[in-house]
Amino acid sequence: MGFKMASGVVVIPNSIRDKSSRIYLVNWYNNLLKTNFKDVQEMGSGACHCQIMDCVIPGSIDMSKVKLDAQGEDDCKHNFSLLHEAFSKNGVTKIIPIEELIQGEFRAHFELLKWFKRFYTTNDQNKKYDPVKARNSQEISPILVPHKLPKDAQQVFTQALNDSESAMSSERETFTESEPELTSDGTLSDSITAPPSAQTEDENGLNVEVKQCEVRLTKIHQNGRTPGENGVVWKGMAVRGGLGLESSLRQKPPTRTLFQAGGRTISSPKGVDKDSTSAPESQDEVSEETSPHKNTPRGRRKMAYQDGKGFPTGELVWGKVKGFSWWPGMVMPWKSKSWPLGMRRVEWFGDGMFSESYIESLLTFRNFNKCFCKNSFASLPIYKEAIYQIIELASERCEKSFVEAEGKKEKELKLMLAWASGGFLPSGPEGFSPPDAAAHQDSSDSATSDNQPPAKRKYVYKNKANAPVITYNKESIREMVKEKGRKIDDFCLSCGSLEIEVQHPLFEGGLCVKCKGNFTETLYRYDEDGYQSYCTVCCAGLEVILCGNASCCRCFCKDCLEILVGPGTFDELKDVDPWSCYMCKPSLCKGNLKLRPDWSVKVQEFFANNSAMAFEPHRVYPSISADQRQPIKVLSLFDGIATGYLVLKDLGFKIERYLASEICDDSITVGMIKHEGKIEYVNDVRTITRKHLAEWGPFDLLIGGSPCNDLSMVNPLRKGLFEGTGRLFFEFYRLLTLLKPKEGDDRPFFWLFENVVFMSANDKSDICRFLECNPILIDAVKVTPAHRARYFWGNLPGMNRPLATSLDDKVGLQDCLEGGRKAMFDKVRTITTKSNSIRQGKMGPLPVTMNGKEDYLWCTEMEQVFGFPKHYTDVNNMGRAQRQRVLGRSWSVPVIRHLFAPLKDYFECV
């Protein structure tokens, strides 16, 4: 959605939720507009909104008419009317809730400010806009926000309920602070507080200093039973691939349901009973003094750890849960009056689960560089979110902001990681220590963190601008499938939606549009342990059970097992060792989880390359069951520096034999030295005969990319496909024809051919005609700092799925440089065998500066640009020119890893 202007198209932001916190939002506006606001509501005059509009659409608002010092209702309405008029003239359809804004409602201010931030960041910002100059060097005055005392108990009661609902809604929808404010450890404030003290006059005309009063909210459990003193404790949680249940396993927190007001604690007038001892306060029910601008704890049931072993309540920690990498969490109060010595109750970031962990399995968050796992960060979205949440909380405690990220979460996360890995400077780890252990105590009813995720298994879709919000619940599948006329194929197995886009390729059921995209991207993502990163059914899940069969990399999450198979399934399977998954033994399927009989074909059709419609589709090979998979045998033509072997080993394949045809001595030396002689070299591809193939084979994978010198249009003397080195393509085609399985041979055989994109249309069509398929185009710039657009022809499963980045991929050039060197560009041109290709343009600058002078990329830096380990080509005293030549002819490692990953369904892995 957008509208035309002289300067281009201005985009109106969609309804995607902005997770900016209150503190971050204020800092963002201060940094952009050069103001000095302290809170969201101080920006309620409308002047800030007008200036953002003037910045995005220059001239849309006459800033001389904006009342920058607005305080009263009329002045604020004047500013918002200017804004509304600008919206109308420029076709912006955003509705401004003027009445709520004038009344000072926090929620209305908060949401509108977030919308304007998205409005600004979505469009091409006016970099030359000077906010101070635009308002003639005048300051935007903060609007005064009065704090009123409630007049009577009924008003306090009503306001408490309203604010409680608002706070819970805010937590679910925006992960931000709301009124009543979130506490420093994430619990919701149950009290509506007056100012810390107030002078008032009693009936006799005496001045009395009255301490604040509080209204407490008590949970009512839906089952009608009165909760015990310790609340409800959920058992359960299994380990990823673990056997049996331990006290350190994750536990689901109790859900918050209904609340009822009650006077559990009411403070006495300050100064009146000061010396009274007739009614001392209970240690379990101590009321805290709070400030309207200060995060406040619940102030009930303070069960501080007093065993002298450290890790107080509120401490940010790393915890070792069996089957996972070190996971970030926060120490929470114990759920009863006593607890086992040497144990702590930990809430895990990312999923909000709880564990009872021994202190020996905990480390403080200061050990970031030791515990942070790059592979989990790259492959587990929930781990990535957990890291974001804990660093966000740590930065708030340290009063550290990342306003330079301009609201872009990926950029903000990158800055957060740099801050954490650099030692949390300037405050250091001491800055995020819990300021007061008591400030992190919660009630025995429930505990939530300020980083609590939204309700699991629920998704919200907005098909049209004014369409109602529809919430789908995966748990509803169990009951709704029993309804007349319903069957499992009517439901999305990932989220429970009824809006099915495609059928699930593995199990009976469907996938909605959103879940189809997620399934496409993540089905072939693997962790460092070789197992799938996500559940085989839903491509999500927090707790998973791994298949125990050798070479099977499948895993199934607790949600899918409990909902689709039956309640209690997850706990039953924890004790089965080894457990064979539903893919290995379809007979184990029961309930609503039913494996498709033709799943091994359907999954390949799911990833079929639809661009190849001019040719007969490739033969589809069904996936092989784990117990029948064999090691892979590979023939690599024009092998270069053994990129194929490097990637296969990195993915965990068991390689029976890897034969490589290569004539460059330098490339052969790299392969032999770096892979310890495990590659068999067979010299010139033109010398390979049918007899050789019969002796060496049969092969499972044929890969290669013939020289591009005579194909690339960059070469003015190119000879084309049928002359010079161009005709070496036909050597690949010849061997491919000899290696293809004969009719009736069901043995899976895969192949991949690569070449440049910038070739003539005739050459491309000729290659397509011989290989009988269209290519896919992949540019490595998405996963590396350098452009490297290449065509790939082949029959690998899922070749056309989206190319996804991971944390280990060095996407920016600065990430690849050695210390003391500065990248002048984030992305560079394609690096070829020519040294001049390092320049950014024929006579352009070099991409790096050092000591104020331009410099070429060093060899180790070029290696990392391509995705190779440092010093990968540092063999046999090769010089810079030699190393660039072998690198310039190689493949991009992250791209080949992306293409090879689906083969794990066919061949044995270690």
Burial class (CB in 10 A: 0-12, 13-18, 19+), 441: buried
DSSP 166-207: HHHHHHHHHSS--SSPBPTTSPBP------SEEEEE-TTS-E
Measured distance CA(640)–CA(660) in Å, rounded: 9
Neighbours of 467 (CB within 10 A): 9
At 726 the three-state DSSP class reads helix
Measured distance CA(359)–CA(675) in Å, rounded: 42
Neighbours of 147 (CB within 10 A): 11
Contact 590, 563 (CB under 8 A): no
Measured distance CA(621)–CA(501) in Å, rounded: 24
At 348 the three-state DSSP class reads strand
- Token pair listed for 610: 């639809």
Measured distance CA(463)–CA(470) in Å, rounded: 10
SS3 of 568-631: the string is CHHHHHHCCCCCCCCCCCHHHCCCCCCECCCHHHHHHHHCCCHHHCCCCCCCCCCCCCHHHCEC
Name the region of 3 (left: φ>0; alpha: ψ -120 to 50; beta: rest): beta
Task: Provide the β-strand partners of residue 363.
Answer: 318
Measured distance CA(272)–CA(260) in Å, rounded: 30
Amino acid in position 35: T
What φ, ψ does residue 751 adopt, rounded to 5°?
-145, 155
SS3 content of the chain, % helix, strand, coil (to 5): 35, 15, 55
The separation between CA 426 and the C-alpha centre of its own chain, rounded to angstroms, equals: 27
Task: Provide the β-strand partners of residue 207.
Answer: 201
Contact 795, 751 (CB under 8 A): yes
Measured distance CA(357)–CA(345) in Å, rounded: 6
Contact 251, 353 (CB under 8 A): yes
Active site residue 708: yes
Report the candidate in 516, 469, 479, 522 with the shortest Cα–Cα distance to residue 494.
516
Cα-based distances in Å from 693 to 661, 682, 697, 760: 13, 11, 5, 33
| Residue 252 DSSP label | P
Burial class (CB in 10 A: 0-12, 13-18, 19+), 161: middle
Measured distance CA(141)–CA(67) in Å, rounded: 9
Report the candidate in 34, 401, 440, 456 with the shortest Cα–Cα distance to residue 255.
456
Of the listed 535, 539, 708, 859, which one is catalytic? Answer: 708
Report the candidate in 205, 44, 71, 65 with the shortest Cα–Cα distance to residue 136.
65
| Residue 907 DSSP label | B
- Token pair listed for 435: 């300021």
Length of the chain: 910
β 655-661/632-637 pair status: parallel
Contact 618, 773 (CB under 8 A): yes
Q: What angle do CA 505, 510, 512 make, to 5 degrees?
A: 115
Contact 897, 650 (CB under 8 A): yes
Catalytic site positions: 708
